[in-house]
Every structure is written in C-alpha cells, then in structure tokens.
C-alpha cells in the first residue's frame, strides 16, 4: 500500500480549458487522478469515467427503511400495544397512517443519503482539507495527473498541459 502519490498539476483559469485538457490527457493515455474546481463542470465526470454514484440506491433503501419503520410503528402503537377508542373509530386505520409514513420516508431518505455522502467522501466536521491550490475554491481549476498510473510519455505531459492553456504546471506529492 503506497502512502503517497506523485501528481503533476496543471492550473487553469477557465472551465472550458479544464474540460478539453482533461479529455485530451485521457485520450493520450494519461491517468487523471482528479480535477479540482470551484463549481461542478458538467460532463467532466463522464469524460473522467466516473461511474454514476450509487447514492441513488442508498436513497431508495433509506426511503424503504423509513416507510416500513413508520408503518410498523404506527400499527404497533395504535393496534397492538394500546388501542384507544376515539369516537368509535377503528384502531387499525391505514389511510390515516399515510401522512406520517410519507414524512418519515423523506426524513430517513434525506438523513441516510447525506450521511452516506459524507462517508463515501470521507467528510466530517473539523476535517483538515488537503487542497491542491488555495484558489481552487475561488477561481482556479486544477487537473491532477497521476504519474505512476499514466501509460504515456511523461515528457510530453508538460507540453500538453501548457498547450491547453495552463497558467502554471507544478509537481505535488499527495499524502494518502
């Protein structure tokens, strides 16, 4: 298990350049470790070959957990544990359980999915951010190329990054 990664960073000031450089790098056989940007660049995930996140599946599972919890709980309380006679109305009355079931499904989905999001991104309160460039949350875009994994001539990398309009190219060792 390696503990650090050698990256070559190309710094850009424009999302279009970042997008086309990433595309070009990948077609030339370079391994793009990650791209850092102040906002989401649409289509970049497809170019980088990022698989569609399975958080949607997690969301569905949490919705089902919320739904079954709500139904089980309401049926248990109002029918099995303690029946209360309110105006002679039936104790097991499914239609009136719908609003709470709906709300709890949404509550579970939101909290469950967002917790999973934090877990897969390894995000937590107070985490120290390992940012590539101090301005990457402001106005700069960074394309990080993984040197070890790239199956192309490293000599041409610098030229490729510069041709794409990089304002700076530098090396960086990222601790894993």
Partner 1 sequence: MSYESPIRDQLVTGGKTYRDVTREITRPLESAPSKGWWFGFSLSTIVLIIWIYATGYSMVVGLGAWGLNKTVGWAFDITNFVFWVGIGHAGTLISAVLLLFRQKWRMSINRSAEAMTIFAVICAASFILSHMGRPWVAYWPIPLPNAFGTLWVNFNSPLVWDVFAISTYFSVSLVFWYIGLIPDIATVRDRATTAGRKFWYSFFAMGWTGSARTWHRYEVISLILAGISTPLVLSVHSIVSMDFATSLVPGWHTTIFPPYFVAGAIFSGFGMVLTLLIIAREVMNYKDYITEEHLDAMAKIILVTGTMVGMAYITEFFVAAYSGVEYEQYAFLNRAFGPYWWAYWTMMSCNLIAPQVFWFRKLRTNPTFLFIMSIIVNIGMWFERFVIIVTSLHRDFLPSSWAMYAPSIVEVSILIGSFGLFFFLFFLFIKFLPSINMAEVKSIIPTHAHADHGHSHASHAHEVIEKGAVHGN
- Spatial separation of the C-alpha atoms in residues 138 and 76, rounded to whole Å: 53
Let me know the angle formed at the C-alpha of 159 by 21 and 10, rounded to the nearest 5 degrees.
Answer: 50
Task: Report the residue number, 122 or 151, with the smaller CB distance to partner 1.
Answer: 122
Q: Please state the closest distance from residue 119 (CB atom) to partner 1, in A.
A: 11
Task: Report the residue number, 111 or 153, with the smaller CB distance to partner 1.
Answer: 111
Nearest to 27 by CA among 168, 143, 171, 150: 150
Task: Report the residue number, 120 or 153, with the smaller CB distance to partner 1.
Answer: 120
Q: Please state the closest distance from residue 158 (CB atom) to partner 1, in A.
A: 19
Q: Find out whether 116 and 108 touch, Cβ atoms under 8 Å.
A: no
Task: Report the residue number, 124 or 173, with the smaller CB distance to partner 1.
Answer: 124
Q: Quick one: which H or E segment has residue 141?
A: strand 141-146
Q: Please state the closest distance from residue 155 (CB atom) to partner 1, in A.
A: 26
What are phi and psi for residue 12, nearest 5 degrees? -125, 165
- Spatial separation of the C-alpha atoms in residues 99 and 70, rounded to whole Å: 10
Query: What angle, rounded to 10 degrees, do the helices at 55-75 and 98-120 form?
Result: 140
Task: Report the residue number, 134 or 155, with the smaller CB distance to partner 1.
Answer: 134
Q: Please state the closest distance from residue 36 (CB atom) to partner 1, in A.
A: 5
Q: Please state the closest distance from residue 159 (CB atom) to partner 1, in A.
A: 18
């Amino acid at each position: 298990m390696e503990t650090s990664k050698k990256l070559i960073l190309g710094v850009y000031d424009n999302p279009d350049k970042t997008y086309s450089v990433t595309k070009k790098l990948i077609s030339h056989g370079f391994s793009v470790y990650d791209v850092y940007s102040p906002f989401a660049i649409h289509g970049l995930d497809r170019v980088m070959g990022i698989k569609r996140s399975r958080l949607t599946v997690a969301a569905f599972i949490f919705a089902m957990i919320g739904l079954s919890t709500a139904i089980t709980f309401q049926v248990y309380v109002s029918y099995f544990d303690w029946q209360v006679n309110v105006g002679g109305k039936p104790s097991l009355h499914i239609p009136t359980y719908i609003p709470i079931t709906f709300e709890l499904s949404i509550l579970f989905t939101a909290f469950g999915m967002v917790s999973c999001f934090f877990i897969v991104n390894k995000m937590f309160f107070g985490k120290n951010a390992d940012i590539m460039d101090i301005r990457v949350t402001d106005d700069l875009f960074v394309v990080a190329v993984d040197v070890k994994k790239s199956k192309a001539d490293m000599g041409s990398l610098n030229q490729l990054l510069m041709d794409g309009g990089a304002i700076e190219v530098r090396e960086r060792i990222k601790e894993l």
